Chains A and B, each alone.
Chain A
Amino acid sequence: MRSVLPILAVLLAIVVLWYGAAIWLNSQWTYDQAGRAGVEVSFGEVVADTMVQERPVLPAPHQVAAGLWEGVAGQKVTSKRSLVYHGWMTLSATLVGFAIGTGLGVLLAVGIVHNRAMDMSVMPWAIASQTIPILAIAPMVIVVLASVGITGLLPKAVISAYLSFFPVVVGMVKGLRSPDGMQLDLLRTYNASPMATLWKLRLPASMPYLFASLKVSMAASLVGAIVGELPAGATSGLGARLLSGSYYGQTIQIWAALFAAAILAAGLVIIIGGIERATLRRMGMGQ
């Protein structure tokens, strides 16, 4: 409970700064409008105007909140203007991409730990794959997959997986290698097979590493899914809301979509955190 106060203080500071920035950034437009009409505006009038502009440079917090509320509660969930509808479109691609990325990441890590050739060859490629801007890859993935008749959710999920496998590979390689020499020697004295070593020792030992990776990977999945919605001029998904918002200068719509994405990501990471606590407690490793 004691932690509530600092959190509220920081939140308050952010909101105050945000309002200040909104007044500062949006006032130019107000002055321009007044100048064109040839009227003098007082500072009070300027401040009032910067709070209610239709296409502000930086929407004020209450405008974004209203935009979010309007998008979530003000529409039928099947409506093209509903953030719930768009959010689900992005979420479904995120979850499929996350599943593919995590599966691929774990498999690659197992391969890297068990096979010297993979150890030497896969990691550099995995790192190289992450140095290429995803914005450059995304359109190619969409076009290539569309040419073989795959459209809709899957291309987005592939881009999402492309981003999310990497943290899992890095974390799981570390986790699978975390058992020390003594623990590996113990299994050698049992003449345990590599398979038994993997199941009985390496995988359980890697669980804390896996969950740390999954949190990063989940956030990356969401970014991937949103980026995957941009190049095709998609009509649904949070990425599409961002895109159409920027086409028409609807800054409030952009910010509402951004916050929807942030809230979604936070929710997903919290869910993973909950699964982590439950799993580690069941394994006797929770605090």
Chain B
Amino acid sequence: MKDTATTAPVIEAKGLGLTFQTSDGPVHALKDVSLAIGKGEFVSFIGPSGCGKTTFLRCIAALERPTEGVLTVNGMSADAARQARAYGYVFQAAGLYPWRTIAGNVKLPLEIMGFSREEQEERVRKVLSLVDLEGFGKKFPWQLSGGMQQRASIARALAFDADILLMDEPFGALDEIVRDRLNEELLKLWARTQKTIGFVTHSIPEAVYLSTKIVVMSPRPGRITDVIESTLPKERPLDIRDSREFIEIAHRVREGLRAGHGDEV
């Protein structure tokens, strides 16, 4: 049982489609998306807005319901996985509750999931140190910078120790310098926790730097145009971005984006 779990994909989509019915007629947010994500992979979804990358991530999280195809998460339906609390989700905005301290915010999922009081304290301490926010537990969100708030929201997603971490452009609103640092920290965190990560971005360097697998998507209808297995080593200092290998992968991503986009840009 344990063996099959490590070899079978953690997330698997086959012929996935999602059509929104709007007053202007149907919108094909996703069409014929097939993808397998193995345990411990770091998968980035990249593409222009409207390509369905966020929609796909929300389908995995069972926040949207696909209209076609099959999607399994941890071998069960996405909704069953959600109910089993299989993943932590990080949104574009930190979305911390202003009336809770940082520790209180990280504790929120633990309270809802019914962890004991001692365990809550223990886990909060652990994940806050994991994202380098020791000593900030008693602060309120408005007392922290945007980057620190987003780190707190990552801590919140990690607190209940789900195997999957889904991140929807978590650093999109942050400046380049903070973003670089958080990317570096995220890689360290991933190496330490062995989680399977799904990461939506529209930054090519970010996708190439972070991922073991880059999924290039294109809009109208939202579909996958290329899946790139990264050849970069697991250890990635920031200056790996100047290496030949990195530039080649980035080039291939750019090609994939251009191909998917046609002549529209």
Contacts from A to B (Cβ < 8 Å): 182-183, 185-192, 196, 200-201, 204-205, 207, 283-285
Residues of B within 8 A of A191 (CB): 82-83, 85
A189-B63, A284-B142 are known; give 11 further A-B pairs, CB within 8 A. A182-B91, A182-B93, A183-B95, A183-B97, A185-B63, A185-B91, A188-B63, A188-B82, A189-B61, A189-B82, A190-B85
Residues of B within 8 A of A200 (CB): 108, 111-112
Residues of A within 8 A of B42 (CB): none
28 CB < 8 A contacts A-B: A182-B91, A182-B92, A182-B93, A182-B95, A185-B89, A186-B89, A186-B91, A188-B62, A188-B63, A189-B61, A189-B88, A190-B85, A190-B109, A190-B112, A190-B160, A191-B83, A192-B112, A196-B112, A200-B111, A201-B97, A207-B99, A283-B99, A284-B98, A284-B99, A284-B100, A284-B140, A284-B142, A285-B98
Chain B minimum-CB-distance residue to A279: B99
Cα-based distance from A166 to B92 in the complex (angstroms): 37
Map CB proximity to A onto B96-121 as digits: 1 under 8 Å, 0 otherwise.
Answer: 01111100000011011100000000
Question: Does chain A have a CB within 8 A of B199?
Answer: no
Residues of A within 8 A of B142 (CB): 284
Cα-based distance from A182 to B91 in the complex (angstroms): 8
Question: Does chain A have a CB within 8 A of B87?
Answer: yes
Contacts from B to A (Cβ < 8 Å): 61-63, 82-83, 85, 87-89, 91-93, 95, 97-101, 108-109, 111-113, 140-142, 160
Cα-based distance from A187 to B82 in the complex (angstroms): 11
Given contacts A186-B89, A186-B95, A189-B63, contact A284 B111 (CB under 8 A): no
Chain A minimum-CB-distance residue to B63: A185
Chain A minimum-CB-distance residue to B93: A182
A272 CB to closest chain B CB, in angstroms? 19
